[in-house]
Structure 1
Amino acid sequence: MTTKLRFVAPAVASLATVLLGVSPSLAASWQTNVRYGGNTAMDLYVPDNVDASPGIVVSLHYCSGRAANAHGWFQALADQHGFVIITPQAGGNCFDATPARSGEREAITKMVEYVITQNNADAARVFAAGASSGACMTNALLAAYPDVFAGGSVLAGVPAGAWTGGNAYGWSTPGNRTAAQWGDIVRNAHPGFTGERPRVQLWHGTGDDTLTYNPNFPAEVAQWTNVLGLTDTDGTTGSFRGSLDTWTRISYKNAAGELVLETNVAQGAPHDLSGRGLWADVVRFFGLDMDPPATGEGGGGGASGEGGGASGEGGGASGEGGGASGEGGGASGEGGSASGEGGSASGEGGSASGEGGGVVGTGGAANGAGGATGGSTSTAGGSTASGEGGSATTGSDGTPSDADGGGCTLAASGQRPRGALVGLLVAGLGALVRRRRRSAA
């Protein structure tokens, strides 16, 4: 037995070195400039553990950003929960957030159709989320294409119909417009629509001096409560703790008791919210942290509770690797003494927890890294809003850094779980043990 182990141990070490050395190539990677039949550029992420019929998140960057700046927001969460990410590239400095069934909005729906066809995605679980310009675009998509999107999350935007700049920066949010008038903008974006409206999650910090809290957030709330037929009595007040802020949350349910609107306000929070620990709660609101309904229906239903159980960013992801490595242990069962190896590694995968692998950046001042050069100043909205400008920069690690007006910085996405890799290693160990036994015999 001593002789056998003397030969097996170096071989196992060599196998481990080879497998660990090639592990980055085993992880899912982004597909860039995917050809889907439209002109707006599209990047696509399909995780290795993608669901059989996955949900879709359209992740929308900010003014002066690029599609790559929105890669990391949901990547670790997609690895954990098995949904697909689409990141469009704006045709100019910003997305054209005009609420119309044409242009960039139509192109994004073609991206969704492509993924539904190519990846067997669930058409009832398609969502949009974005920050700043991407937040404005989210409102526009929910207004113009309620037949495509089951919900959206708006991180510091303007109401649908208030964006005036096209692909440049510009907005106007009249303070005297009534809730019904704001609601009519949404209804007129798709006048023939009679189905169920998308669910909406709104976020805004009172310290936002780019797309200012007033008048934008009250107008957004007025717009969507009107469209969804909600009143103040339909709301329940609670709170949510992000990584940097405590948010006052009002959760609205419709007559059927379904959660259809969440509003979130943080005192003093700046314009850029992309690095403030919110993405896991966005996924919770979409219901993508849960198994899809057995019938394939439900538009991402089952969003948990008002306060949200997903308070920890990326929490719970540490178990992902374990299941995969347990399979590896079973595969090596014929190897005798090596059968226990898979289990000991079941903790692998914890490094994949978190939101895009350790999102950094505290948000900074709202007019920070974006620089003072971007975009025109707002129109009747009354904001000087110079922070939207600047160009996307590249960090020391070669990844695009966040150049939004909020001064946020994106880190590279987290490491993939290695549970499956451990399974391969253990299976190889079993094979080596069996070979040595035959040779000895």
Structure 2
Amino acid sequence: MTRIRRALAGLSVALAVGGLSVLVPALTGPAAAASLVQVTNFGNNPGGMEMHIYVPDNHPANPAIVVAMHGCGGSGPGFYSGSEFASLADRYGYIVIYPSAEQQAGFGKCFDTWSDAAKRRGGGSDPVSIVSMVTYAEQHYGGDPNRVYATGSSSGGMMTDEMLALYPDVFKAGAAFMGVPFNCFANAADYPPGSSKCTGGSMDRTPQQWGDAVRAAYPGYTGPRPRIQLWHGTADTLVPYSLLQEDIEQWTNVFGLSQTPTRSDTPQSGWNRRQYADSSGTVQVEAYSIQGAGHQLPMSGMAAVAIAFFGLNGANPTTPPPTTAPPTTAPPTTAPPTTAPPTSNPPTGNPPSGACSATYRTINSWSGGFQGEVTVTAGGAAVNGWTVRWTLAGGQTVTQVWNGTLSASGTSVSVRNASYNGSIPPSGSTTFGFLANGSPSNPTLSCTSP
């Protein structure tokens, strides 16, 4: 086995994230006596992956296990050096497994979340290799099988969703940074940015469709599902911010939860959090929108929040913290979403054949801005192309639209269908979303179709 010392402590290192090289400060290394160790022959390895493991000097007899996964073009040792999970392991006594992906995806080695084998429990490829690593850590390091967690950035965040869907009996919880919903990619050709429907800004499925994908990954499973924490930057264009909402829809549906958060807040400036708790108060889904952040997560301090969500810092991760007074300093006016109760303006009566109708709801709101969603519904005949128009309230400006094309003149706004969602079958529907400055309102929408 090869021992790798953290020789870059205190310097800057290049962290490969989703095919991008992001320069980040290397973090203070763990105690000199502990080091990253490569493990060979760890078991069934259809993905041909490499395994590295970090075991802190001080840990309980049966430590928790965290699987921490890099972005495209990265490696396990690179993610060890460029993230805070190892230094937190020194503090809290858990083991960290760092897998290295070997699948080529056109712009570096990435975790396989696209193949048919990777979408079926026990189907092969990277997911089976990762489970083998977990089993090895349990057998050779005394890892606690009841406290196994997954986390990762970009490609690793995508694989986090993947592992929770395929192996809900192995993983207790996960934290996905800049990931996508499970089964978002159709195949290998759909994976690279620029040609991907998943990450090309056109992905829009219903919560039921997303939830069904997870349930189909392990047919007949009726046991508990792993809790999930989701992170995304509002300025991410490589893995679009709109996919955070799709991810939320998937996991709230899996848990049978409303898409209306049970709690929302701003834990710190620029971090807007939505929590979705079940009837017992357990937060099953937690989503962070990071103001102005591009494809560069996790940033400093975020790994610690993920570890707290797992409950590995000694806190109770399942119960929402007490509501605190609003911060004395309001978030910037361009802050990304937290949440306000949804509002809508349902159409009156049934739309005529060949016509369309549109309904609005506020997904999130914060001081100085909000996130809205519009559902476009066909009448008794198919719609081939649609345009939704409304008038902005005082102080409102639309800053970003997805699944549609924006036109604005003064306070008059129109959104036309994109190339991929203009055709709607009879009684079918599609949605588009937007971010806006100002306070949310309940606009009167009109929908026209050629």
With normalisation by structure 2, the TM-score equals 0.57
Letter in 2 for 1:209: T
Aligned counterpart for 1:271 among listed residues 288, 292, 295: 295
Aligned counterpart for 1:76 among listed residues 57, 64, 87: 87
The residue aligned with 1:186 is 214
- The within-5 A match list for 1:220-299 is 220-233=247-260, 235-241=262-268, 246-290=270-314
- The within-5 A match list for 1:329-408 is none
SS, match of residue 139 in structure 1? helix
Query: Contact between 1:237 and 1:250, CA under 8 Å: does it hold in 2?
Result: yes
- The within-5 A match list for 1:88-237 is 88-92=99-103, 93-98=109-114, 99-101=119-121, 102-164=124-186, 166=188, 169=192, 171-173=196-198, 174-214=202-242, 216-233=243-260, 235-237=262-264
Q: Report how far residue 272 of structure 1 moved.
A: 1.3
CA-to-partner distance for each residue in 1:211-245, whole Å, 9 max, x for gaps? 0112x11110110110011114552011222xxx6
Aligned counterpart for 1:32 among listed residues 38, 44, 53: 38
Q: Report how far residue 51 of structure 1 moved.
A: 1.7
Letter in 1 for 2:110: C
Change (3 A) 1:70 1:281: same
CA distance in 1, matches of 2:147, 2:31: 29
The residue aligned with 2:442 is none
Q: Report how far residue 172 of structure 1 moved.
A: 2.7
Percent pairwise identity: 38
Greater RCO, 1 or 2 (C-alpha within 8 Å, sep 6+)? 1
Change (3 A) 1:163 1:125: same
Q: Report how far residue 128 of structure 1 moved.
A: 0.5
CA distance in 2, matches of 1:232, 1:306: 20
Q: Report how far residue 25 of structure 1 moved.
A: 8.8
CA distance in 2, matches of 1:249, 1:306: 12
CA distance in 2, matches of 1:234, 1:124: 28
- The within-5 A match list for 1:60-71 is 60-71=69-80
CA-to-partner distance for each residue in 1:165-220, whole Å, 9 max, x for gaps? 64963543354421100111111111121100000000111100100112x11110
Letter in 2 for 1:108: I
CA distance in 1, matches of 2:181, 2:266: 23
SS, match of residue 73 in structure 2? coil
Matched, 1:305 2:300: no
Query: Contact between 1:287 and 1:304, CA under 8 Å: does it hold in 2?
Result: no
Structure 2: any 5+ residue segments left out of the alignment? Answer: 1-29, 104-108, 325-418, 422-450
CA distance in 1, matches of 2:33, 2:319: 30
CA distance in 1, matches of 2:40, 2:227: 28
CA distance in 2, matches of 1:134, 1:266: 18
Query: Contact between 1:205 and 1:271, CA under 8 Å: does it hold in 2?
Result: yes
CA distance in 2, matches of 1:172, 1:268: 24
CA distance in 1, matches of 2:270, 2:319: 19
CA distance in 2, matches of 1:25, 1:46: 11
CA-to-partner distance for each residue in 1:362-421, whole Å, 9 max, x for gaps? xxxxxxxxxxxxxxxxxx999xxxxxxxxxxxxxxxxxxxxxxxxxxxxxxxxxxxxxxx
SS, match of residue 37 in structure 2? coil
Higher helix share: 1
Query: Contact between 1:43 and 1:88, CA under 8 Å: does it hold in 2?
Result: yes
Q: Report how far residue 256 of structure 1 moved.
A: 2.0
CA distance in 1, matches of 2:295, 2:140: 36
CA distance in 2, matches of 1:218, 1:230: 14
Q: Report how far residue 48 of structure 1 moved.
A: 0.2
CA distance in 1, matches of 2:204, 2:260: 23
CA distance in 2, matches of 1:34, 1:45: 14
Higher strand share: 2
Cα RMSD, aligned residues only: 2.7
CA distance in 1, matches of 2:323, 2:133: 30
| Greater C-alpha Rg | 1
SS, match of residue 88 in structure 2? helix
Change (3 A) 1:217 1:307: farther
Letter in 2 for 1:65: G
